[in-house]
Structure 1
Amino acid sequence: MNTSDKLQIFKGSTLGRCHTVEAFLGEGGFGFVTKCRNTETGRTEAVKVNKNHPEVVCQAKLEISILKRLRCLDPDTCNIVRWNGFFFDQEHICLNFELLDQSLRDYMADRNHQGLSIRELSPVVHQLATALSHLRSIGIVHADLKPDNIMVVDRKQQPLKVKLIDFGLARPVSAAKAGACVQTTWYRAPEIMLHIPFNEAIDMWSLGLVAVELATGCPLYPGETDYDMLNFIMETQGQLADYLLDRGMGTDYYFHKQRNSQPRWTFKTPEEFAYETGFYAEETRYIRLGSLDDLEQVLAMERGHQSDQHLFVDLVKRMLQLDADLRIKPLEVLRHPLFYHSPPQCSRPDVCITIDPEETEPEVSWQPSTRQTAGPGGILRRRRVPTLTAVSEHEWAALEENDLKEADVQPEDNVKQDGWFRRLFNRITGAFHLLLSCDG
C-alpha cells in the first residue's frame, strides 16, 4: 500500500540509511508518518516524513528547534514523546520518534465513544497537566492539544499512560503573537478566535475540552467555524467580558459594538453573520449544556453518580475560564482535590522540570466555583466529523535569530544530548516536583 505516490515511498522501501518502512500510520498536510524498522538497532520507530515544499521545510525546521529545546525534559516522566533525532531521505526531512500504541482518539473509538469514569480519566488528566507544567517551565506553547495528539503508550496498561506528541505548531511563548492560526477548531481557545494576545493558557483550555470529551465520549464544542465555536461557548458559559472583547483584533468580525450601552459588544445573529460573510451557522453539538454545572447531570445519566464528579466539574470550569489570565495553571491542576482521593502514581524522582518561583508561593484555596447560568438546557444531537483548520507556517517571524540558526538541519541520525547537565538538572529538581505532584 502506498499512501503518498508523490513522495514515492512504499511499504518495504528504505528511508535514509537504515529505516525500513513497515506501515503507514497517518497523513497530513506536512506529509505522513510511517512505522519503520531501524535495521541498525532493531527497534521499531515512528518516522515523520515531511514534504519537500518550502513552507513545510520551514515548519520542519521550526519543529526541530522546539524539539531541541525539549531535550532537557525526560520523555517518560514528563509525558512527552521521545524524539530520537532526524535524518534526510533525499530532500525530505525525517523526524524520528519512539513508536507508541494508538492515539487517544482511536482509543475512544475502540470503546465506541463510551466515556471514561472519573477514576479512569483522572490519571490521564494528571499526566497531561504534568506535560503542560514542564512545557510552561521552559516557556513553550504546544498550541495543538487534542485527542489525536495524545498517544496511549500501551492500551492494555491500567491506569493508562499517555504522552503528548506533535510539536509542529509549538512555539516559544515569546513568539506567540495575536492573530496566529493555531489549534484545531474544536479545541481552540477564545483568545485565538478573537485575535487576543495569547500564551500557554490556550493549552489549558484545550485540556479542559479534552477532559470533557473523555468523560462524555463526545466533544463539547464541535463547531464547524469559529463563529459556531463562539456561539456554543457563549450559550454554555456566557458572553466574554467587555474588557476581553476590547482586546481582540478580530472582535468586530463576530460582534457589533454598541455606544453608551452595557455590554458594549453584541454577538451577531446567525442571519447577520451569514449576510456579512456568506458563512452559515450550523448546530453540530451532541450534548448541549445550559451551563458547565449541567455536566454533573450528564455524567450521572451516563454512568450513575460518581463520588468525585463534582470535583471533576469544578476542575473543568477552572480550565475553561474565559479569561486566560484567570485560567488555572498546570501546577495548580496537579494540586487540585480531584487527585487527593485517587492520586495517580507518582513519577520517578528523576523528573526534569524548572519550577517557576511565582507559582510555588501562593496557597490555592479550593472552593466550589460559582454556578454558571447561561443559555438553554440540554438536547442531544448526532455526532459530526471534525473539520480541521489549515495552519499557517508564516507566524514565527518573532523567533530569535539563534533559534533559527539552531534549526538549520544538518544530516544526523541521533541527537546527542548533554547527559551530564541533564542528570544534574534531574537530581536538583526531581525531589521538589515529586513533592508537588504527589502532594495529598
Structure 2
Amino acid sequence: MGEGAFGQVLECWDHERNEMVAIKIVRSNRKYRKDAMIEIEILQLLGKHDANTSRCVQVRNWFDYRNHICIVFEKLGPSLYDFLRKNSFRSFPIDLVREFARQLLECVAFMHDMRLIHTDLKPENILLVSPEYIKVPDSNVSSNKGSHFKMLPKSSAIKVIDFGSTTYDFIDNNYVVSTRHYRAPEVILGLGWSYPCDIWSIGCILVELCSGKMLFQTHENLEHLAMMERVLEPLPSNMLRLADRDAEKYIRRGHLNWPESATSRESFKAVLKLPRLQTLVMEHTDHSSADFLDLLQGLLRYDPGDRLGAREALAHCFFTRS
C-alpha cells in the first residue's frame, strides 16, 4: 500500500476478524524499532480515550516478527496527497476543504487535550476513510490540457495517521520537527516549539488542498523564510532577534538577509513568483473566501503565542457560517 524510510505498509486479510487490514512492517533497525514502540504507546493511549470520534487511525494489534515490529491498523483509503496526485493536482472544492479542515482540527484538538503534539501533519498523513470517488465535469480545464473530468471523494471522512514522531508537550522540544514544507517558523529559527507547530502545518495543508499546490515548495531555510515573508508579511523582529546560533546567519540588522544571501538566481525567482495569501485564496475560492482567508491568517500567525488554538479555530465563522 505504501513505503517510506521506516519500511512498508501491506494490505492483508485478517482471518480472525474476517476483514482487510493494513500492516505497517518496520525495518529491523534500532532507531525505527524504537520509534515504532513509541507509536504503539501513543496509538494505544489515543485508542483508550477515543470513542471513535477523534479522527485518529485505529490500531488493531501489533506483534514482533523476526525483529520487525508489525503494527496492524484498520484499512483506509488513499492519502489526500495521493488523491491530489492522481487528480493531476486539481484543487478540492472549498466546501470539501471545509469538511477536511473541521475533522483535522477535531483530531488535533483531541491530541492537544491529551498533551500530545503530532509534529508531522501533512497531506500524506491524512487518509480518506473510503477509496470511493466520483467523476465530475471540470470547468477549469482547457481543451489542450487533458481530461475534462476531475475526481471527487464520495465521502469527506478522513483519519490522521503516522504517530511515530508524536511527542508529549513536557519533553524538551528544541530539536527540528515536521516535514520541511509544513515546518513552522519557530522551528526553523530554533526558538523551541509546542502545540502551535501543528496549527501552522494545518494552515499550510489547507492552502494546498484549496489550490492544489504546495504553499512553500523549498528545501532550504533562508529561502523558506523568504517565501513566508512574500506570502504573508515580514517576520517579527523579536522572533528574529531570539533566533538560535544556527539561524543567526539568515538575519542581518534585525531583518531577514534576503535577497542578499540567496543561494542562486533561481531561488530569488522562486520567491518572487509567489502570490500573496489573499490572491492565492481568492483565485481558488468563490464564496466564503473572506472567512477562509481570515481562518488561514489565524493559523499562519508567526508568533506561536498569537496563533489560533485548535478549539479556537473550530469556533471560527468559516465553520459556523457554513
TM-score bracket, normalised by the shorter chain, equals: 0.7 to 0.9
SS of equivalent to 1:202: helix
1:286 is displaced (CA, Å) by 11
AA partner of residue 146 (structure 1): K
1:334 is displaced (CA, Å) by 1.2
Among residues 308, 314, 318, which one is paired with 2:298 in the alignment?
318
SS of equivalent to 1:101: coil
Segments of structure 1 that go 5 or more residues without pairing to the other structure are 1-24, 259-264, 343-440
1:282 is displaced (CA, Å) by 6.4
- Distance, in Å, in 1 between the alignment partners of 2:154 and 2:296 is 23
- Distance, in Å, in 1 between the alignment partners of 2:51 and 2:171 is 24
% of aligned pairs identical?
A: 27
Instruction: Give aligned pairs, total.
Output: 301
Structure 1: 4+ residue segments shifted above 4 A: 282-287
- Distance, in Å, in 2 between the alignment partners of 1:29 and 1:212 is 27
- 1:322-363 Cα deviation digits (max 9, x unpaired): 111110111111111111232xxxxxxxxxxxxxxxxxxxxx
Asked if the contact 2:240–2:255 (Cα under 8 Å) also holds between the matched residues in 1, the reply is: no
Q: Indicate how the Cα distance of structure 1 residues 114 and 204 shifts in structure 2: closer, same or farther if over 3 A, else same.
A: same
AA partner of residue 115 (structure 1): S
Match for residue 173 of structure 1?
169
Verify: 1:240 aligned to 2:235, yes or no: yes
Asked if the contact 1:220–1:285 (Cα under 8 Å) also holds between the matched residues in 2, the reply is: no
Q: Indicate how the Cα distance of structure 1 residues 272 and 110 shifts in structure 2: closer, same or farther if over 3 A, else same.
A: closer
- 1:16-44 Cα deviation digits (max 9, x unpaired): xxxxxxxxx11111111111112222221
- Distance, in Å, in 2 between the alignment partners of 1:57 and 1:167 is 13
Asked if the contact 2:77–2:131 (Cα under 8 Å) also holds between the matched residues in 1, the reply is: yes
Segments of structure 2 that go 5 or more residues without pairing to the other structure are 133-152
- Distance, in Å, in 2 between the alignment partners of 1:286 and 1:77 is 43
- 1:393-440 Cα deviation digits (max 9, x unpaired): xxxxxxxxxxxxxxxxxxxxxxxxxxxxxxxxxxxxxxxxxxxxxxxx
- Distance, in Å, in 2 between the alignment partners of 1:105 and 1:172 is 27
SS of equivalent to 2:111: helix
- 1:226-261 Cα deviation digits (max 9, x unpaired): 2221110011222221222233213303112x3xxx
Q: Indicate how the Cα distance of structure 1 residues 135 and 97 shifts in structure 2: closer, same or farther if over 3 A, else same.
A: same
AA partner of residue 298 (structure 1): E
Among residues 294, 297, 313, which one is paired with 1:333 in the alignment?
313
Q: Indicate how the Cα distance of structure 1 residues 59 and 286 shifts in structure 2: closer, same or farther if over 3 A, else same.
A: farther
Among residues 157, 162, 173, which one is paired with 2:158 in the alignment?
162
Larger relative contact order (Cα-Cα within 8 Å, sequence gap ≥ 6): 1
Verify: 1:254 aligned to 2:234, yes or no: no
TM-score by length of 2: 0.87
1:185 is displaced (CA, Å) by 0.8
Verify: 1:294 aligned to 2:279, yes or no: yes
SS of equivalent to 1:272: coil
Q: Indicate how the Cα distance of structure 1 residues 34 and 287 shifts in structure 2: closer, same or farther if over 3 A, else same.
A: farther
Q: What do you get for the CA RMSD once the two structures are aligned?
A: 2.2
Verify: 1:188 aligned to 2:168, yes or no: no
Asked if the contact 2:44–2:59 (Cα under 8 Å) also holds between the matched residues in 1, the reply is: no
1:57 is displaced (CA, Å) by 1.6
Asked if the contact 2:76–2:131 (Cα under 8 Å) also holds between the matched residues in 1, the reply is: no
Larger strand fraction of residues: 2
- 1:89-129 Cα deviation digits (max 9, x unpaired): 11111111111011001111232211122212111100000
Match for residue 199 of structure 1?
194
TM-score by length of 1: 0.65
